Structure 1
Amino acid sequence: MLEISRRGQAMPVSPFRKLAPYAELARQQGRIVYPLNIGQPDIETPPAALAAVRNADIRVLGYSHGAGTESYRHRLAAYYQRAGLPVVMEDIIVTTGGSEAILFALLTCLNPGDEIIIPEPFYGTYTAFSIAAGVNIVPVTARIDNGFALPPLANFERALTPRTRAILICNPSNPTGYVYRRAELESILGLCKAHSLYLISDEAYREFCYDAPYVSALELAGAEPNVVVVDTISKRYSACGARVGALVTLNKQVYVAAFRFAQMRVSPPGLGMLLAEAAAELPESYFDESKAEYQARRDLTVARLQAMPGVVCPRPGGAFYVLAHLPVDNTEAFGQWLLESFSYENQTLLLSPANGFYQTPGLGSQEVRLAYVINRTDLAAALDCLERALLAYPGRTEPPLTTTEVASAFTAPLLTQLQ
């Protein structure tokens, strides 16, 4: 009998897309569905970057070098150098999105059956890449009550086994928005050096830190042999569809092995690199407007969530996500109910249940990730829906409200929306 591979059977559904079919049905029924489930920004892709593709004089769209075109890698190296990172062209492998860079990093640094320690909650797709690479995730749990800060180093030390080969962090974090301080990064790198581990640092959101400067793992003293950085232009330039990322390392052995994996797919996207090269030439001031907009959306989202009874929402320092505890029995059931049974002024919202961001069974069942990637008017409307839905949901875990209280809550004016 034909059977699907064990990898195929173990591959999970995307945690931020699992409710998408219910959203499609809701839209077909004529309801407005606000998409807070996925990190797809509505910020305009830089016109100069799009023009570079539109105006390219190309007769034959051929393969590039397996590591990417030299012209783009030179531009990208200059971008890193402006950020204070000691990176040259020969340290960069251009990849098909940050996703391919994650996979290459795992395939290069770990053998099948090896273990990688990851602070949870973590970007849900790490699970899929680990399954594809035959790698086992060992989670170390961060806590909502301290804003999902890096867990104590002793917790990482207890998670070490003879099979441990790497630690993977996302900074700023997807899904929590936490930004690691220099001292936290130095402690993790110190642990990696003491036990001969790789430190894989996913830095997809480096431009979007709101309360403190960004620190890259590559700028830490002694980072050269241990650190592998995963990067992407998807969020930086609101260019998710270009599918251009990078694996960056100063470790030449890692680079050579990763390049061999890169040769499997021959070359990264040619048109995407044209767009990325033009984007890399934008001045540093380009980020001022988008960063200010995301910060305003963060402030709106956090203020509204923290004002909702029973909701616990730390204030994220970066990226464009919040991970919040909701007073519901199960956020996956709540998310489905939002799309199947709830409507406020013919509107509802799509969210990501947080259980898909944890490796430990049972964690995240009352938490949700919200992506504040839509304009503030729509974001406020989505939060209106959430506020009313939490009052009406049959599976609310706090004592049920009286009919009078519910009516009052639904008719009372909401908090003044932040501008």
Structure 2
Amino acid sequence: MPVISSKGKAMPESPIRKLAPFAEKAVKEGKHIFHLNIGQPDIKTPIEAMKAVREHNLDVLAYSHSAGFESFRNKLAGYYAKHDITISSEDILITTGGSEALIFTMGSITDPGDEIIVPEPFYANYYSFSTQSTVTVVPVISKIENGFALPPIQEFEKLITPKTKAILICNPGNPTGYLYSKEEIKDLAALAIKYDLFLISDEVYREFVYDDSEHYSILQERSLKDHAIVVDSVSKRYSMCGARIGCLVSKNKDVMQTAMKFAQARLSPPTLAQIASEAALEAPESYYKETVAKYKERRDTLVESLKSIPGIQVATPRGAFYCIVELPIKDADDFAKWLLDEFHVNNETVMLAPASGFYSSPNQGLNQVRIAYVLNRRDLKKAVNILKLGLEKYMDKKSFVPTEEKISL
């Protein structure tokens, strides 16, 4: 019988989607699930984007340029200029989601066996993309105790080897919600220059920063001209996850020319989705402000509710719309399955993303979950209450030992 590749066997399951069979079973049993496991916003997509798709006058749904519409790239350059980032349309390559941007990046800058240093916990698909690209992820563990702050720069430096090609960060972070300070970005920039590494920054949550914080992009560091690569996307910013439109941004001409070869091989990004994404850039400033205000309210509601549960530890996120929660249990995977399979409150339950899948280091995050606060405040409160009641029952269940077992011990 033909065998599956080693690469295929090494591909990890998604911690966000791997419990889908349990959720499907729960729905068939008539349960309502509050989805805290996936970052699917419920905020409406800008009307400008939807209108552009409805009213297009195309007669043929044709290929676009492999780099994406020039008009779209020009508008994106204007968008970045509003954020104190000076780039041209030639520094932008439209991709099929931020995922493809990262795959193109890894393909352009690494060879099999090369290494990329990544602070963990990190977005689970980084590990999938690195496996696909035969790249080794070298983790630097950040801790919930200090809010998942950037580990000391010395921790990065001692991991650098001749095989190290890049440092990859997510800013603000998925799954932690951590927002890197300007000083931290400058420290990483200095390290990248010292060792002639690429600094890759996933900035798809740029708008979602709270508490009067400001996002500082690696593209604002002029010294990083040849070292900086940014991955971006419309998915979260405009609540357009299904459009699958992202972009790769870099002033390094060699990187862009190489990435273009990958882009040509996949022909072009989707045409209708580009039309929608270009139109979304016409959304008024109020769209961003109202959206960010809603997520801040949700964050505050979630964190306050979680902190009322005994034994829980949560790092308050300053960006994105996720947080890591440490639970007073040993096995978050088992707990998440149990919530879907065996537990409900008035036929309602919650779906969580076990956090071990956001680590590449073994035995890390086993008692943690990632929660996405993409529900309205009323549903968040309800979901946290179900989580609280579920924890109480689960812990009672796990601590119960039948009399016969007690006697035999």
Distance across 2 between alignment mates of 1:30 and 1:396? 24
Does the C-alpha gap of structure 1 residues 16 and 395 become closer, same or farther in structure 2, counting only changes over 3 Å? farther
Establish whether residue 133 from structure 1 lines up as the match of residue 113 from structure 2. Answer: no
The 3-state SS of whatever aligns with 1:21 is: helix
- Asked if structure 1 preserves the Cα contact closer than 8 Å seen for 2:235 and 2:244, the reply is yes
1:83-110: CA deviations, max 9, x gaps? 1101111100000000000100111111
Match of 2:407 in 1: none
TM-score if structure 2 supplies the norm length?
Answer: 0.96
Establish whether residue 322 from structure 1 lines up as the match of residue 323 from structure 2. Answer: yes
- Asked if structure 2 preserves the Cα contact closer than 8 Å seen for 1:16 and 1:38, the reply is yes
Distance across 1 between alignment mates of 2:362 and 2:236? 30
Map 1:269-288 onto structure 2 (within 5 A): 269-288=270-289
Does the C-alpha gap of structure 1 residues 280 and 396 become closer, same or farther in structure 2, counting only changes over 3 Å? farther
Stretches of structure 1 lacking an aligned partner (at least 5 in a row):
401-419
Report the CA distance between 1:380 and its aligned residue. Answer: 1.3
Match of 2:305 in 1: 304
Q: Which amino acid aligns with 2:62?
A: G
Report the CA distance between 1:390 and its aligned residue. Answer: 1.2
Report the CA distance between 1:132 and its aligned residue. Answer: 0.7
Report the CA distance between 1:285 and its aligned residue. Answer: 2.5
Match of 1:408 in 2: none
RMSD: 1.2
Distance across 1 between alignment mates of 2:135 and 2:125? 13
Distance across 1 between alignment mates of 2:395 and 2:340? 14
The 3-state SS of whatever aligns with 1:303 is: helix
Distance across 2 between alignment mates of 1:396 and 1:174? 32
Establish whether residue 247 from structure 1 lines up as the match of residue 225 from structure 2. Answer: no
The 3-state SS of whatever aligns with 1:222 is: helix
- Asked if structure 2 preserves the Cα contact closer than 8 Å seen for 1:75 and 1:281, the reply is no
Match of 2:76 in 1: 76
Match of 1:409 in 2: none
Establish whether residue 62 from structure 1 lines up as the match of residue 51 from structure 2. Answer: no
1:60-86: CA deviations, max 9, x gaps? 111111100111111111101111101
Stretches of structure 2 lacking an aligned partner (at least 5 in a row):
401-409
The 3-state SS of whatever aligns with 2:34 is: strand
Match of 1:406 in 2: none
1:267-321: CA deviations, max 9, x gaps? 1010011001111122322201110000000001101111110000011000000
1:200-233: CA deviations, max 9, x gaps? 1000100100021111110013121100000000
Match of 2:110 in 1: 110
Distance across 1 between alignment mates of 2:83 and 2:2? 52
Distance across 1 between alignment mates of 2:95 and 2:61? 17
Distance across 1 between alignment mates of 2:202 and 2:355? 19
1:10-53: CA deviations, max 9, x gaps? 11111101111101111110111111101000000111111101
Q: Which amino acid aligns with 1:278?
A: A
Distance across 2 between alignment mates of 1:20 and 1:304? 26
Establish whether residue 238 from structure 1 lines up as the match of residue 239 from structure 2. Answer: yes
- Asked if structure 2 preserves the Cα contact closer than 8 Å seen for 1:329 and 1:395, the reply is no
* 388-397 or 14-23, which deviates more: 388-397
1:173-225: CA deviations, max 9, x gaps? 00000000000011011111000100010001001000211111100131211
- Asked if structure 2 preserves the Cα contact closer than 8 Å seen for 1:218 and 1:224, the reply is yes
1:92-141: CA deviations, max 9, x gaps? 00000000001001111111110000000000000110011110000000
Map 1:56-205 onto structure 2 (within 5 A): 56-205=56-205
Q: Which amino acid aligns with 1:216?
A: S
Match of 2:40 in 1: 40
- Asked if structure 2 preserves the Cα contact closer than 8 Å seen for 1:20 and 1:350, the reply is no
Counting matched residue pairs gives 399
Q: Which amino acid aligns with 1:85?
A: I
The 3-state SS of whatever aligns with 2:371 is: strand
- Asked if structure 2 preserves the Cα contact closer than 8 Å seen for 1:101 and 1:247, the reply is yes
Distance across 1 between alignment mates of 2:393 and 2:94? 48
Map 1:352-371 onto structure 2 (within 5 A): 352-371=353-372
Distance across 1 between alignment mates of 2:224 and 2:150? 19
Report the CA distance between 1:396 and its aligned residue. Answer: 8.0
Does the C-alpha gap of structure 1 residues 394 and 221 become closer, same or farther in structure 2, counting only changes over 3 Å? same
- Asked if structure 1 preserves the Cα contact closer than 8 Å seen for 2:355 and 2:370, the reply is yes
Distance across 1 between alignment mates of 2:244 and 2:397? 40
Distance across 2 between alignment mates of 1:194 and 1:285? 41
Q: Which amino acid aligns with 1:334?
A: F
- Asked if structure 2 preserves the Cα contact closer than 8 Å seen for 1:329 and 1:396, the reply is no
Q: Which amino acid aligns with 1:214?
A: H
Match of 1:347 in 2: 348
Q: Which amino acid aligns with 1:218?
A: L
| Identity score, percent | 49
Match of 1:53 in 2: 53
The 3-state SS of whatever aligns with 1:119 is: strand
Distance across 2 between alignment mates of 1:2 and 1:247? 37
Does the C-alpha gap of structure 1 residues 29 and 396 become closer, same or farther in structure 2, counting only changes over 3 Å? closer
The 3-state SS of whatever aligns with 1:118 is: strand
Q: Which amino acid aligns with 2:78?
A: A
Establish whether residue 373 from structure 1 lines up as the match of residue 386 from structure 2. Answer: no
Q: Which amino acid aligns with 1:84?
A: D
* 388-397 or 291-300, which deviates more: 388-397
1:221-259: CA deviations, max 9, x gaps? 312110000000000000000110000001111110011
Distance across 2 between alignment mates of 1:257 and 1:285? 38
- Asked if structure 2 preserves the Cα contact closer than 8 Å seen for 1:328 and 1:396, the reply is no
Distance across 2 between alignment mates of 1:19 and 1:213? 35
- Asked if structure 1 preserves the Cα contact closer than 8 Å seen for 2:148 and 2:178, the reply is yes
* 342-351 or 164-173, which deviates more: 342-351
